[in-house]
Amino acid sequence: MSVVQNKQGLDAPLAFLGTIIHHLSPKQIEIIPKGLLIVGVNGKIAVVEKDVADDKVDSLLSQHGLSRHSPTFTVLERGEFLIPGFIDTHNHAPQWTQRGLGRGKLIMEWLNKTTFPHEAKFQDPAYARKTYASCVDGFLKQGVTTAAYYGSLHGEATKILAEICVQKGQRALVGKCNMNREAPDYYVDKSAAESIAVTEDFIAYTRQLDPTQELVTPILTPRFAVACDHDVLTGLGKLAEKNPDLPIQTHFNETLQEMEITKKLYPEFDSEADLYEHFGLLNDRSILAHCIYMDDYDMRRLKELDCGVAHCPISNTTSGVFGVAPVREYLNQDIKVGLGTDSGGGFSSSIIDCMRQAFAVSKARQLDHLQDKPLHFTEMLYLATLGGARVCSLDHKIGNFLVGKEFDALEIHTVGDDAGIITLVEDEDTTEDILEKFVMSGDDRNVAKVFVKGRSVKKSK
Amino acid sequence: MSVVQNKQGLDAPLAFLGTIIHHLSPKQIEIIPKGLLIVGVNGKIAVVEKDVADDKVDSLLSQHGLSRHSPTFTVLERGEFLIPGFIDTHNHAPQWTQRGLGRGKLIMEWLNKTTFPHEAKFQDPAYARKTYASCVDGFLKQGVTTAAYYGSLHGEATKILAEICVQKGQRALVGKCNMNREAPDYYVDKSAAESIAVTEDFIAYTRQLDPTQELVTPILTPRFAVACDHDVLTGLGKLAEKNPDLPIQTHFNETLQEMEITKKLYPEFDSEADLYEHFGLLNDRSILAHCIYMDDYDMRRLKELDCGVAHCPISNTTSGVFGVAPVREYLNQDIKVGLGTDSGGGFSSSIIDCMRQAFAVSKARQLDHLQDKPLHFTEMLYLATLGGARVCSLDHKIGNFLVGKEFDALEIHTVGDDAGIITLVEDEDTTEDILEKFVMSGDDRNVAKVFVKGRSVKKSK
Tell me the per-residue pLDDT of A314-356, one tens digit each, with 9 for 90 and over. Answer: 999 998 899 999 999 999 999 999 999 999 999 999 999 999 9
- Rounded to whole angstroms, how far apart are CA atoms A174 and B356? 30
CB within 8 Å: A426 and B96: no
Q: What is the pLDDT of residue A108?
A: 87
Quickly list H helices, B30-94.
54-63
Whether B114 and chain A come into contact, CB under 8 Å, resolves to no
Residue A4 pLDDT class (50, 70, 90 cuts): very low
Q: What is the average pLDDT across B273-283?
A: 98
Whether A334 and chain B come into contact, CB under 8 Å, resolves to no
Q: What is the pLDDT of residue B4?
A: 47
Would the pLDDT of B102 be above 70? yes
Residue B125 pLDDT class (50, 70, 90 cuts): very high
ipTM, two decimals, is: 0.95
CA angle B68, B454, B70 (to 5 degrees): 15
Whether B116 and chain A come into contact, CB under 8 Å, resolves to no
- Rounded to whole angstroms, how far apart are CA atoms B153 and B74? 43
Residue A404: HSE in the Cβ half-sphere, 13 Å Cα cutoff? 2
Query: Which candidate in B92, B96, B103, B431 is best for mutational testing of the A interface (most A CBs within 10 A)?
Result: B103
Structural element, H or E, at residue B274: helix B272-278
From the CA of B418, how many Å to the nearest CA of chain A? Answer: 9
Range(s) for CATH 2.30.40.10 in chain B? 14-84+401-456
Answer for the pair A260, A284: CB distance below 8 angstroms, yes or no.
Answer: no
Residue A104 pLDDT class (50, 70, 90 cuts): confident
Nearest residue of chain B to residue A375 (CA atoms): B104
- Rounded to whole angstroms, how far apart are CA atoms A289 and A150? 11
Whether B359 and chain A come into contact, CB under 8 Å, resolves to yes
Answer for the pair B14, B407: CB distance below 8 angstroms, yes or no.
Answer: yes
The beta-carbon neighbor of B363 closest among A318, A421, A424 is A318
- Rounded to whole angstroms, how far apart are CA atoms B8 and A72? 56
Which of chain B's residues have a Cβ under 8 Å away from the Cβ of A103? 359, 377, 436, 440
In the three-class reduction of DSSP (H, G, I as helix; E, B as strand; rest coil), residue B316 is classed as helix
The beta-carbon neighbor of B97 closest among A417, A424, A444 is A424
List of E strands, B295-414: 308-311, 336-339, 409-413
Would the pLDDT of B3 be above 50? no
Nearest residue of chain A to residue B426 (CA atoms): A97
CB within 8 Å: B322 and A364: yes
| pLDDT 10s digits, A413-445 | 998 765 556 668 899 999 999 999 999 999 999
The beta-carbon neighbor of A99 closest among B97, B366, B437 is B437
**What CATH number was assigned to the domain covering residues B86-391?**
3.20.20.140
Q: What is the pLDDT of residue B2?
A: 43
The beta-carbon neighbor of B103 closest among A321, A426, A440 is A440
- Rounded to whole angstroms, how far apart are CA atoms B425 and A134? 12
Answer for the pair B14, B38: CB distance below 8 angstroms, yes or no.
Answer: yes
- Rounded to whole angstroms, how far apart are CA atoms B36 and B23? 17
Answer for the pair A140, A457: CB distance below 8 angstroms, yes or no.
Answer: yes
- Rounded to whole angstroms, how far apart are CA atoms B182 and B199? 19
- Rounded to whole angstroms, how far apart are CA atoms A115 and A343? 11
Whether A317 and chain B come into contact, CB under 8 Å, resolves to yes
Range(s) for CATH 2.30.40.10 in chain A? 14-84+400-456
Q: What is the average pLDDT across B191-213?
A: 98
Q: What is the pLDDT of residue A107?
A: 83
Nearest residue of chain A to residue B355 (CA atoms): A318
* Residue A239 Cα distances to A181, A230, A286, angstroms: 20, 14, 14
Whether B293 and chain A come into contact, CB under 8 Å, resolves to no
Range(s) for CATH 3.20.20.140 in chain A? 86-391
Residues 6+ apart with CB under 8 A from A73: A14, A15, A16, A17, A61, A66, A67
Give the range among A58-62, A441-445, B357-361 with minimum mean pLDDT: A441-445
Residue B1 pLDDT class (50, 70, 90 cuts): very low
Q: What is the pLDDT of residue A415?
A: 83
- Superfamily of domain covering B14-84+401-456: Urease, subunit C, domain 1 (2.30.40.10)
The beta-carbon neighbor of A440 closest among B100, B142, B377 is B100
CB within 8 Å: B426 and A318: no
pLDDT exceeding 70 applies to what percent of chain A? 96
Whether A129 and chain B come into contact, CB under 8 Å, resolves to no
Answer for the pair B411, B113: CB distance below 8 angstroms, yes or no.
Answer: no
CB within 8 Å: B349 and A103: no
- Superfamily of domain covering A14-84+400-456: Urease, subunit C, domain 1 (2.30.40.10)
Task: Indicate the Cα dihedral angle B340, B344, B345, B350, nearest 10°.
Answer: 40
Quickly list H helices, A220-294.
230-242, 256-265, 272-278
- Rounded to whole angstroms, how far apart are CA atoms B103 and B120? 20
Would the pLDDT of A63 be above 50? yes
Nearest residue of chain B to residue A316 (CA atoms): B360
Q: Which A-chain residues 380-439 have CB contacts (< 8 A) with chain B?
A: 417, 420-421, 423-426, 433, 436-439
Which of chain B's residues have a Cβ under 8 Å away from the Cβ of A128? none
Nearest residue of chain B to residue A134 (CA atoms): B421
Give the range among A95-104, B100-109, B150-159 with minimum mean pLDDT: B100-109
The beta-carbon neighbor of B421 closest among A100, A104, A141 is A141
Mean pLDDT of chain A: 95
Strand partners, B310: B289, B338
- Angle separating helix axes B431-441 and B351-368, nearest 10 degrees: 90
Q: What is the pLDDT of residue A456?
A: 97
The beta-carbon neighbor of B421 closest among A142, A357, A439 is A142
Which of chain A's residues have a Cβ under 8 Å away from the Cβ of B437? 99-101
From the CA of B239, how many Å to the nearest CA of chain A? Answer: 36
* Residue B185 Cα distances to B105, B117, B189, angstroms: 21, 11, 9
Q: How many CB atoms sit inside 10 A of residue A373's CB? A: 16
